[in-house]
Structure 1
Amino acid sequence: MRKFSLIAGSLAGLLSLAAGGAWLALRAPDFAAETLKVRYGRPNSHYADLGGGLVLHYLESGPADAPVVLLLHGFGDNAFSWDGWAAPLSGKYRVIALDLPGHGLSAAPAGFIASPDSMTEAVERFASKLGLSGIAVAGNSMGGGVAWNWATHHPERIARLILVDAAGWPSAQLQKPPLAFRLMQYRLGRALLASIDNTPLIREGLKKDVVDQSVLTEPFIQRWADLQRFPGHRPILMSARPGSVAASPELLAKIAVPTLILWGEDDQLIAVDAAHRFHQAIPGSRLVIYPRVGHLPQWEIPARSAADAITFLDETHFG
């Protein structure tokens, strides 16, 4: 027994050394904020200082006096993922693609917790800062969860709602979670992910997010990875609990605005069953399912999904 204990102890020590060695090999510091702003900022980049260290970056296009369409990205993503929607929408609307706290080029204070309520509160503060009301809001994945949550708490802000593979139904979420999400279930995993270069894990996760792998260009993947190394982002991302948003028929029945639901039929992260549940729960909602499309329709089929959004806005006389 003593010999077995010594062997087991030695193996545990070797595994610890191996894990430590892997961490030393993979660890990567944050990039400087200004470096990333220079690398990824655009002429239409703007920053809203909401106080308390919360400064949200957003991309704005279209006529300044036109009806507003606000675009909210998913977990780990960024405002640039809406590029395929911003161009066609900006012909008629003032389009604002927002980087949520802990994402993109937005800055958040140390200790910010990425919960559905904190994200919704940040969006409400942003809308108040810019004086936005009677707007259309579209959200993908986590951003979709924020969008419908916001609509139930601040209906005066929102005139149209578009949910794109939105988070909400716990039993339908994380059907085939990528390795990064599995690691996030453990404290040691979160500590590791908060300090290393996650490019390989991001690449692996994105491959599950789309059916058409050709849309995953290296610049797209690198931007995801680089922006997650904005100062303070990784601890905020690790504070999130994917799948924690909890929808219910009673809660969603409060949504009284015209609502469009867009969904990739082959979404491996949030099963298409969730689309039908949103459709059943939100009175008068419209549903469009895309065959052979994954979790990111706004990136995988931007022209088609944007056209469906524009048709919806036109037919419901938005603006």
Structure 2
Amino acid sequence: MNSIYKSATAAEQVLQRYREHLATWPVPSEHVRIPTDAGETFVVASGPKDAPPLVLLHGAGANTSTWLGDIASWAGSFRTYAVDLVGEPGLSAPARPRLDTDEPARWLDQVLDGLGITTCAMVGMSLGGWSALDYVIRRPGRVTRLVLLCPGGIGRATPLRMLPAMATLPLGRWGRRRAVARVTGLTGPEVAPVLDDVAQMFGAFRPRTEKLPVFPDDALGTVTAPVLVVVGTRDVMFDSGETAERARRSFPDADVQVLPDTGHAILGQTDRILTFLSPSRTDTR
């Protein structure tokens, strides 16, 4: 049994649902498997092979289905590589590189090298945002433009805000769904399938318990690539006000967007991101 899941049956249910999502990928794609020291890494590649590369890193407790609503637009201008983070509920290895070391950056080195990417633009959400920012800090010059959606590592974590949501987790499927709605900030009938999927995920999956390191000011100040940061005012996981303030103060070239009445789930930013990552402003391989 894979230890990141609560049972073998739970693992199969999550992965079966993920395969169903992959079957709905809206543009032609290739499934690539890259060997790394952390184990095999699964990547969904889309878009013209001669287009500028764009690497996508999802958040914790998620997989590349995060990008289903964005990929048709982005793959028109970029060769997109949606990477399943290792240790998360996708098709990559279950290994979890320690976040307080250079292991995540070395894993990304091997993924990019395996894909034949020298430099690229990068989009990261939550833990994926932390991973992307950690990589930019440790590997200056390799990422040409950076998008951070509700990223960890800039504003401090706010566990006390999470307590009301976490209180309903033991109450079965209804409790998990209610917790997911509070954490993500998603409401309305149109997001019901998303809430159901995430609730199922966290009924089956064991999330990381490792504390997410916060980057010091001097590390953030080394980032010279243009950065787009998007946060929501109702994020209960991270202090979005502090994230916005530190990003504006620390990054020499930053576009910081604070979305009102928005929680930790940052959706609907497809066009904003595409404009920021326009080919005329992005280096190619």
- Whether TM-score is above 0.5 comes out as yes
Q: Report the counterpart of residue 180 of structure 2 in structure 1.
A: 206
Distance 2:176 2:83 in 1: 21
Change (3 A) 1:92 1:315: closer
Amino acid at match of 1:277: R
Pair 280,128 (structure 1): closer, same or farther in 2 beyond 3 Å: same
Matched, 1:289 2:270: no
Change (3 A) 1:222 1:53: farther
2:120–2:142 Cα contact (<8 Å) kept: yes
Question: Matched residues in 2 for 1:122 and 1:179: separation?
Answer: 35
Q: Which residue of 2 aligns with 1:102?
A: 87
Cα distance change, pair 102–285 in 1 and its aligned pair in 2 (3 A): same
Q: Distance in 1 between matches of 2:48 and 2:145?
A: 19
How far off its partner does 1:37 sit?
6.1
Match of 2:237 among 269, 272, 287: 269
Letter in 2 for 1:308: R
CA distance in 2, matches of 1:143, 1:287: 18
Aligned to 2:226: 258
Whether contact under 8 Å (1:144, 1:166) holds in the other structure is yes
TM-aligned CA distance change 1:89 to 1:40, over 3 Å: closer
Match of 2:11 among 23, 31, 36: 31
Largest Rg, 1 or 2:
1
Q: 2:272 aligns with which of 289, 292, 308?
A: 308
State the secondary structure of the residue aligned to 1:307: helix
Q: Counterparts of 1:221 and 1:76 in 2: how far apart (Å)?
A: 13
Q: Distance in 2 between matches of 1:178 and 1:133?
A: 43
What is the RMSD computed on CA atoms of the aligned residues?
3.3
Does the aligned pair in 2 maintain the 1:266–1:294 contact within 8 Å?
Answer: yes
Alignment partner of 1:280 out of 230, 249, 266:
249
Q: C-alpha deviations, 1:300-319, integer Å up to 9, x for none?
A: xx1xx221112222397114
User: Alignment identity in percent?
Assistant: 22
Residue by residue over 1:261-310, the C-alpha shift from the partner in whole angstroms, topping out at 9 and shown as x without a partner, is 11112222212221221221111211111112221213xxx1xx221112
SS at match of 1:169: coil
**Equivalent pair of 2:46/2:81 in contact (CA under 8 Å):** yes
Distance 1:115 1:93, change over 3 A: same
Give the structure 1 partner of residue 113 of structure 2: 128
Gaps of 5+ in 1: 1-25, 184-192
TM-score (structure 1 length as normaliser): 0.72
Give the length in aligned residue pairs.
Answer: 271
**Alpha carbons 1:206, 1:216 under 8 Å: kept:** no
- Match for residue 186 of structure 1? none
* CA distance in 2: counterparts of 1:224 and 1:89, whole angstroms: 24
TM-score after normalising by structure 2 = 0.80
Aligned partners of 2:177, 2:271: CA distance in 1, in Å?
28
Whole-angstrom distance in 2 between the partners of 1:95 and 1:156: 19
- Structure 2 match to 1:161: 146
Distance, in Å, in 1 between the alignment partners of 2:113 and 2:203 is: 28
Partner of 2:99: 115
Q: Distance in 2 between matches of 1:202 and 1:107?
A: 25
Contact 2:176 2:203 in 1 (8 A): no
Partner of 2:3: none
Q: Which residue number in structure 2 is paired with residue 76 of structure 1?
A: 61
Q: Report the Cα offset of residue 224 of structure 1.
A: 3.3
**1:8 corresponds to:** none
Deviation string 1:5-38 (CA, Å, 9 cap, x unpaired) is xxxxxxxxxxxxxxxxxxxxx9774334874564
Match of 1:150 among 123, 128, 135: 135
- Higher mean C-alpha deviation, range 286-295 or range 118-127: 118-127
Equivalent residue letter for 2:183: D
Following the alignment from structure 1 to structure 2, what is the Cα–Cα distance between the partners of residues 291 and 46? 37
CA 1:175–1:255 in structure 2 vs 1: closer, same or farther (change >3 Å)?
Answer: farther
Q: 1:34 to 1:255 in 2, by over 3 A?
A: closer
Amino acid at match of 2:151: A
